[in-house]
Chain A
């Protein structure tokens, strides 16, 4: 079974709709992240959480919100989707072990906003 899972894997929605992307992990990591990937722009951090009570904005948090329901679950919401939020979204986890910040990624959610 995959250590980091994301649902849905693909989603097509319309402008103005509220969308939630979900992430679950079985790695037991405290840290979780949401990224979006756009061609030529690489990975940009939306939000990150170092534990259940610690949530931080990343580079491009406008238009997004998150919820850390438990150590294993981290959801990303688009309150009112717009076309330029069309992208590939990744959830990742990490654990500060031995001073390294290796991140483990889920398979991604491809979101299209029409």
Chain B
């Protein structure tokens, strides 16, 4: 019940396309859902996060869509650029407890 399942494991998208990464969870007590971005040789860094009281949050080309009834959330990257090539992790937590992490998605944007 503590797991966060992330898919796909890897994704190749053409420049200018839309990248979509999905995550699913079981624990309905989760109340914070962040996405982290990791470039090679670096630690992960927070990209965007959402609370379950909203269904969507947008920051620039990055959007989180949240479906509380389905217990799923996804990251959409619009107009994907080669600089977006990175590994993306979803995560979840409740009551400010520690984060439960997805397994990661390696995204490659082809020029």
Contact = CB atoms under 8 A, between A and B. Distances in A.
A74 interface: no
Interface residues on A, range: 20 to 34
B49 A106 contact: no
Interface of A: 4, 33, 40-45, 48, 58, 90, 92, 96, 99-108
A45 B89 CA distance: 14
A41 B103 contact: yes
Question: Which secondary structure characterizes the binding site on chain B?
Answer: loop
Interface residues of B, number: 21
B12 interface: no
Interface in B27-45: 32, 34, 41-45
Contacts of A42: 6, 89, 101-104
Contacts of B43: 4, 90, 92, 105-108
